[in-house]
Chain A
Amino acid sequence: MIEVRDVAKIHQSGETEVHALQGVSCHFPGQRFSFILGPSGSGKSTLLYLLGALDVPSAGEIFVQNRSLSTLNNNERDTYRREKVGFVFQNFNLLKNLNALENVLAPYLPLGVSTEQKKQAEELLKQVGLGHRITHRPSQLSGGEQQRVAIARALLKRPLLILADEPTGELDTKTGEEIFHCLRDMSEQYKTTVVIVTHDERYIRETDNILRLRDGKIAEEIVDQ
């Protein structure tokens, strides 16, 4: 479903250039769990953000459902992110001024939220086990609960793709397991493709795909077609 071809990314950090990715080509099959592994600084996050069109590659191309992301204009990129991609971040990244339900609805605030979407959001929060926390603010929720709100937010749009950057990095083992459980459950239910960056290889199953990066290059790719 996702084709990455010869992608390079150079970050400009003041005077120095950082070659975060150097000619990466890989493949992520649809409706499956794929993991991006590798030591810190190997370019995992960089690759993930490129997949989500949050950034543009310095060279190479990324195809999602046979459409090149580099052909999208700004508007289409916004739409792609709003409609096709759900992000889950390490530090949950909820908006502290909005309650759980409003956070789930956040992508649609500028367009206006329909009652239908509101019902779906409530339903999703129930499914991730937060039916009783709908009106709580992030500060009133535990880390695991916040991450589940983020997962619900990612799922509301029925995304093609969920991109998660170390989603359990700030959670204890038990909560981490719950979050992975939740992610697997939901992605199965919604037939979503999931790409996860992680340090923690504990949560990987036999059937998952694995991409290992080192110094911006692919060290190992295990894709089970």
Chain B
Amino acid sequence: MLKFAIRNLLSRSVRSLLCLMGLTIAIAGMVGLFSIAGGLEETVSQTFGRIKGIVAMQPGAPIPLFSRIPRSWGEEIGEISGIAIVNPEIWSRVNMIEDKPVISPPRFLFGTELPSRLQLKHGIYRDAIYDGRFLSLEDQGTLNTVVSRQIAEQHHKQVGDIISVNGQAMTIVGLYECGSMLLDVAIILDIDVVRDITRFDPNSVSCFYLEQSGEVNNDLLVKNIKDHFRGRELASWQPASLALANSSQSNILKDFVNAIDQSLKGSSDKTPVEDKANAKGKQNQSTDADAKIAESDQQQSALEVRSAADWGERLETFTADLDIFLGLMTGIGVLIAMLSIINTMLMSVMERIVDFGILKANGWSNRDVMLLITAESSLLGVFGGILGCILGLIAIVIVNWKFVNQVHLYASPGLLLFGVVFSTLLGISGGLYPAWWTTRMTPIDAIRRG
């Protein structure tokens, strides 16, 4: 019977092939699009799964790069019970490496206070060193740096080489590889050196990385820190002003950050930064924002504290939104593929009414005939699914290989399995209507037609 079905499909090879191609492309598109979300999720879990500690930064700033908080708060935080280590960090965007402008993927100067950094039980970068060494106390005040494998390979550097970053000649003393697109962007130096290079406000830092002592429950700890800084005066982060101020910033990054910012705001319970403030232009903005803060609820904390799980969760709501969007996009493709299956099967069924009449005259039941038709259409579905997944995977591999540092697409085995199963279901359901159609014909009607 299956052989018969295959034979029937092969006998109208062009039509079957076209239908198969339609399905293949639809499924490949589905796999391809959902691999974007899959890649993002994988990156998120690879990134935030590793970060054990919590980060204290400016409320509303989507990432530490855009955050500014008073340097002196570090000591206060250190006194809160449950905090073992406070590590001040400064983040700054890199514009030039080896006299070439850095656009995408982005690179960041990451200045970290070495004495406290070295006391951390888990230092993600320190633990990911695979060549050379991590920074030590002797590297304070020097241009000794640790960079990722990605950065080293992009500029053909090894341990011991000099790399020019924003015009500063730095010596690479170690290489790390975290394997996450979001982490392997840092060029690590002593905090004071970065402060000098970037003329960072001497009384501020970007954020504090906090390691817990383990004595206090994480959620409670986060709450305690926030409570401690409740009512302090600190300007909320202004996405537009920073984006405009830093004009060398690439559009992609800007858009991405804005998108994250939107989704974070959407899901957070804080008062969002008013759009009005953005519209009023650059000059007035800081004063305007200050006024806003003064007006608004004094009970707000001046410090945002995020644990890795928090970050992950927020990004996951973002990918969930992305999934809906991708679902809609693929839905269209899938609908077209489905119609094409129905069309192909209906046409071939109408042409073969006489055949079905013959088969029924020979004792085939309606069920047998329906089975034959759905077997044919589900064969189309299975092969379309498999080919689609293969095509999608090939596309993903090519994209990942071509844009190693920019994007990471990931199609999980679950997604592939879903692709094949879904396509098979499409095939079956696409055959059901034509199959049902034949059962309304009595055999003689069919034969008489012939």
Contact = CB atoms under 8 A, between A and B. Distances in A.
Given A93-B358, A98-B7, A110-B368, A82 B450 contact: no
B362 A106 contact: yes
A97 B11 contact: yes
A184 interface: no
Contact of B444 (A49, A82, A109): A49
B354 to A, nearest CB: 7
B363 A81 contact: yes
Interface string A98-110: 1000100011011
A223 interface: no
Contact of B362 (A55, A87, A102): A87
Given A54-B444, A74-B365, A107-B363, A93 B450 contact: yes
Contact of B364 (A54, A78, A87): A78
Interface string B5-19: 001100100000000
Contacts of B357: 93
B361 interface: yes
Interface string A73-85: 0110011111100
B261 interface: no
B358 A110 contact: no
Most buried by A among B354, B365, B450: B365
Contact of B442 (A55, A95, A102, A109): A55
A91 interface: yes
B444 A107 contact: no
A95 B358 contact: yes
A195 to B, nearest CB: 14
Contacts of B61: none
Contacts of A52: 361
Contacts of B443: 54-55
B51 interface: no
B324 interface: no
A96 to B, nearest CB: 7
Most buried by A among B8, B364, B371: B364
A78 B363 contact: yes
A44 interface: no
Contacts of A78: 360, 363-365
Contact of B363 (A82, A91, A97, A98): A82
A150 to B, nearest CB: 9
A157 B444 CA distance: 21
B362 A107 contact: yes
A83 B363 contact: yes
A93 B449 CA distance: 12
B11 to A, nearest CB: 5
B447 interface: yes
B4 interface: yes
Contacts of B323: none
B277 to A, nearest CB: 72
A32 interface: no
Contacts of B363: 78-83, 107, 157
Interface in B1-49: 1, 4, 7-8, 11
Nearest to B369: A110
Contacts of B313: none
B421 interface: no
Interface string B340-382: 0000000000000011011111111110100110000000000
Most buried by B among A74, A81, A157: A81
B362 A81 contact: yes
A63 interface: no
Given A54-B442, A98-B7, A81 B359 contact: no
Interface string B427-450: 000000000000000111001101
A74 B369 CA distance: 14
B315 to A, nearest CB: 53
A17 B444 CA distance: 17
A95 B355 contact: yes
Contacts of A93: 354, 357-358, 361, 447, 450
B362 A153 contact: yes
A75 B368 CA distance: 11
Interface in A10-39: none
A91 B450 contact: yes
Contacts of B4: 97-98, 102, 109
A165 to B, nearest CB: 9
Given A54-B442, A79-B363, A93-B450, A110 B11 contact: no
A81 B361 contact: yes
Contact of A107 (B1, B364, B450): B364
Nearest to A75: B365
Contacts of A83: 363
Interface string A126-168: 0000000000000000000000000001000100000000000
A53 to B, nearest CB: 10
A106 B442 contact: no
Contact of A55 (B354, B364, B444, B450): B444
Contacts of A96: 11
Most buried by A among B360, B361, B372: B361
A55 B361 CA distance: 10
B362 to A, nearest CB: 4
B4 to A, nearest CB: 6
Interface string A164-175: 000000000000
Contacts of A89: 358, 447
Contact of A106 (B11, B359, B365): B359
Given A54-B444, A55-B444, A109-B1, A97 B7 contact: yes
A75 B360 CA distance: 12
5 contacts: A93-B450, A94-B358, A95-B355, A95-B358, A110-B364
Interface of A: 45, 49, 52, 54-55, 74-75, 78-83, 87, 89, 91, 93-98, 102, 106-107, 109-110, 112, 153, 157
**3 closest residue pairs by CB, A with B:** A82-B363, A110-B368, A107-B362
Given A45-B448, A74-B366, A107-B363, 8 more contacts: A54-B361, A83-B363, A89-B447, A96-B11, A97-B8, A106-B358, A106-B362, A112-B1
